[in-house]
């Protein structure tokens, strides 16, 4: 099977804008040495839009906000800090960056890529939480990969 013949399942929860931002953020994180998965379920029950782990174990979560209404409707973002070393919002180019709290990082993205606009101070995870989240990431990634090869197993 060639890469171009692989058909990925459609999630259906994200708008076209959010999907474009997601793609750009994933590209940015990969450029910075992160392995990424999207829509990653955390032990808290929250779902991280983009979750990346670097080779040294550093974890970065990006929460996508596709428009002002999306941002206003969802104020759960501080809860993600318990599961990452770095937290950022990721927004489209057309969105006003001034609404994003200064306590969070900021990435502006589109379908082709992304740019880090603001980094905040990183806050290292406790070793036991890092281990648990890293194992969860590995299992989720492996299960997704297997599901692409054998969708009937899912």
Cα 36 to Cα 30: distance, rounded to the nearest angstrom: 7
Q: Name the residue range of residue 55's domain.
A: 12-153
Instruction: For residue 20, give the CATH number of its domain.
Output: 3.40.1350
- Give the closest residue to 122 by CA, choosing from 150, 86, 151, 88: 86
Looking at the domain assignment, is residue 110 inside a domain? yes
Looking at the domain assignment, is residue 6 inside a domain? no
Looking at the domain assignment, is residue 20 inside a domain? yes
70, two tokens: 């999306």
Pair type for strands 114-118 and 59-64: unpaired
Looking at the domain assignment, is residue 5 inside a domain? no
What is the pLDDT, as a whole number, of residue 13? 59
* 116 neighbors 28 (Cβ within 8 angstroms): yes
- Give the closest residue to 52 by CA, choosing from 76, 83, 75: 83
Looking at the domain assignment, is residue 1 inside a domain? no
pLDDT of the chain, 154 residues: tens digit per residue:
444 454 444 555 568 999 999 999 999 999 999 999 999 999 999 999 999 999 999 999 999 999 999 999 888 889 999 999 999 999 999 999 999 999 999 999 999 999 999 999 999 999 999 999 999 999 999 999 998 888 775 5
Looking at the domain assignment, is residue 4 inside a domain? no
What is the pLDDT, as a whole number, of residue 1? 42
What is the pLDDT, as a whole number, of residue 93? 95
Looking at the domain assignment, is residue 7 inside a domain? no
Question: What is the number of domains present in the chain?
Answer: 1
């Amino acid at each position: 099977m060639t890469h171009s013949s692989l058909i990925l399942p459609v999630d259906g929860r994200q708008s076209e804008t959010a999907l474009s931002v997601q793609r750009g953020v994933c590209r940015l994180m990969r450029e910075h040495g992160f392995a990424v998965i999207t829509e990653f379920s955390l032990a808290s029950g929250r779902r991280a839009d983009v979750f990346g782990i670097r080779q040294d174990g550093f974890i970065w979560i990006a929460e996508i906000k596709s428009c002002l209404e999306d941002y206003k409707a969802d104020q759960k973002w501080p809860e993600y800090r318990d599961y990452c070393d770095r937290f950022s919002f990721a927004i489209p180019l057309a969105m006003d960056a001034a609404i994003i709290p200064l306590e969070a990082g900021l990435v502006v993205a589109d379908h082709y890529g992304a740019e880090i606009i603001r980094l905040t101070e990183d806050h290292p995870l406790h070793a036991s939480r890092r281990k648990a989240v890293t194992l969860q990431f590995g299992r989720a990634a492996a299960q997704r990969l297997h599901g692409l090869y054998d969708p009937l197993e899912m």
